[in-house]
Amino acid sequence: MISQRTFHGVPASVTQARRFVVEVLRDIEPEVVEDAVMMVSELATNSVRHAQSMFTVMVERSPQQVRISVSDAGLGRPTMRSPRPEEATGRGLCIVEVLADSWGVTTHDGFGKTVWFSLAAVARSA
């Protein structure tokens, strides 16, 4: 199953993107949903802050895995930073690195990039 939604490049859209992921993953174990929502929040925030463009969140589900991607029109390739403790920003990709089973970046010649991650998915027990 694939679900996707496009959001405006404004701060309020980050909350909307989180809600979208919760809605699509409502029958997955809560711990997986929490991790997915945290990572989508970080990637959507990066789109709003750095790409300053609309962004699309795509959720691809199989019985064993969830793959989520966030695409925007930003140029360049995101890089992992090592912010000092007093810095308020710069930890988004570090969070993705820690929480995701796998992740990566795909650049699109001249028109943006996609940052994706995958997680093992377990349906909730009835």
Confidence category of residue 121, pLDDT binned at 50, 70, 90: confident
The pTM is what?
A: 0.88
User: According to DSSP H, which parts of 47-87 are helical?
Assistant: none
Residue 4: other Cβ atoms inside 10 A: 14
> Domains in the chain and their CATH numbers?
2-120 (3.30.565.10)
Backbone phi and psi for residue 15, each to the nearest 5 degrees, phi listed first: -65, -45
Q: How far apart are CA 15 and CA 42, in angstroms?
A: 11
The pLDDT tens digits of the residues spanning 83-116 come to: 566 655 556 677 888 899 999 999 887 789 999 9
Q: Are 119 and 41 in contact (CB under 8 A)?
A: no
Q: How far apart are CA 26 and CA 45, in angstroms?
A: 22
Residues 62-75 have a mean pLDDT of 92
Q: What residues contact 84, with CB distance under 8 A and at least 6 apart?
A: none
